[in-house]
Amino acid sequence: MTSAPEADWRLFRGDGTPRAVTLPSAPPWRRFTPDRAVRPELPYLIEPLHADVVNAALHLRRPLLVTGPAGTGKSSLAKAVAHELNLGELLRWPVNSRSAVREALYQYDAIGRLRETTLSRDRGEREPSIGTFVRLGPLGTALVPSVVPRALLIDEMDKGDVDLPNDLLTVFEEGVFEIPELSRLPEEFADVEVQTADHRGAVRVHHGLVQCAEFPVVVITSNGERDFPPAFLRRCVRLGLNVPDEERLRAIVAAHLGEDALREADDLLEAFLRRRAPGELATDQLLNAVFLRTSGVDLDAEGLLDAVLHQLTGAM
Ligand SMILES: Nc1ncnc2c1ncn2[C@@H]1O[C@H](COP(=O)(O)OP(=O)(O)OP(=O)(O)O)[C@@H](O)[C@H]1O
Ligand SMILES: [Mg+2]
> In 3D, which of 96, 178, 193 has the Cα closest to residue 140?
178
Q: Give the whole-angstrom CA distance, residue 199 versus residue 197.
A: 7
User: Is any ligand 1 atom within 6 A of the Cβ of residue 276?
Assistant: no
Residue owning the nearest CA to atom 16 of ligand 1: 73
Residue owning the nearest CA to atom 4 of ligand 1: 44
- For ligand 1, mutation pick of 153, 283, 290 (most atoms within 8 Å of CB): 283
pTM exceeding 0.75: yes
Give the neighbor-by-neighbor strand order of the sheet with 209-211: 176-178, 209-211, 203-206, 191-194
Ligand nearest to the CA of 282: 1
- For ligand 1, mutation pick of 284, 291, 309 (most atoms within 8 Å of CB): 284
In this prediction, residue 2 carries a pLDDT of: 46
**Looking at domain 48-240, does it have CATH number 3.40.50.300?**
yes
Q: Give the whole-angstrom CA distance, residue 136 versus residue 202.
A: 10
In this prediction, residue 134 carries a pLDDT of: 96
User: Is any ligand 1 atom within 6 A of the Cβ of residue 150?
Assistant: no
**Cα dist from 32 to 35, 36, 38, 41, 165, whole Å:** 9, 10, 10, 12, 32
User: Is any ligand 1 atom within 6 A of the Cβ of residue 80?
Assistant: no
Q: Give the whole-angstrom CA distance, residue 293 versus residue 261.
A: 8
| Beta carbons within 10 angstroms of residue 84's beta carbon | 12
Ligand 1 center to 284 CA (angstroms):
6
Ligand nearest to the CA of 71: 1
Q: Give the whole-angstrom CA distance, residue 277 versus residue 147.
A: 45
Residues 212, 175 contacting (CB under 8 angstroms): yes
Task: Tell me the sheet residues that pair with 176.
Answer: 211
User: Is any ligand 1 atom within 6 A of the Cβ of residue 9?
Assistant: no
Q: Give the whole-angstrom CA distance, residue 158 versus residue 162.
A: 8
Q: Give the whole-angstrom CA distance, residue 198 versus residue 87.
A: 13
> In 3D, which of 271, 221, 226, 227 has the Cα closest to residue 246?
271
| Beta carbons within 10 angstroms of residue 194's beta carbon | 25
In this prediction, residue 31 carries a pLDDT of: 87
In this prediction, residue 38 carries a pLDDT of: 56
In this prediction, residue 176 carries a pLDDT of: 97
The residue extents of the domains of the chain are 48-240, 244-308
Backbone dihedral angles phi then psi of residue 178, each to the nearest 5 degrees: -115, 145
**10-residue averages of pLDDT along the chain (316 residues):** 64 91 90 68 90 97 95 94 94 96 97 93 91 96 95 97 95 96 92 91 95 97 92 95 92 94 91 79 91 87 78 63
Task: Tell me the sheet residues that pair with 205.
Answer: 192
Q: How far apart are the first and last CA of the chain?
A: 40
In this prediction, residue 201 carries a pLDDT of: 85
Counting atoms of ligand 1 from 1, which one is nearest the CA of 244?
Answer: 1
Counting atoms of ligand 1 from 1, which one is nearest the CA of 77?
Answer: 18
Residues 80, 46 contacting (CB under 8 angstroms): yes
Backbone dihedral angles phi then psi of residue 292, each to the nearest 5 degrees: -60, -40
Which residues, at least 6 apart from 111, have a Cβ–Cβ distance to it below 8 Å? none
In this prediction, residue 5 carries a pLDDT of: 58
In this prediction, residue 6 carries a pLDDT of: 64
Q: Give the whole-angstrom CA distance, residue 225 versus residue 162.
A: 11
Residues 216, 44 contacting (CB under 8 angstroms): no
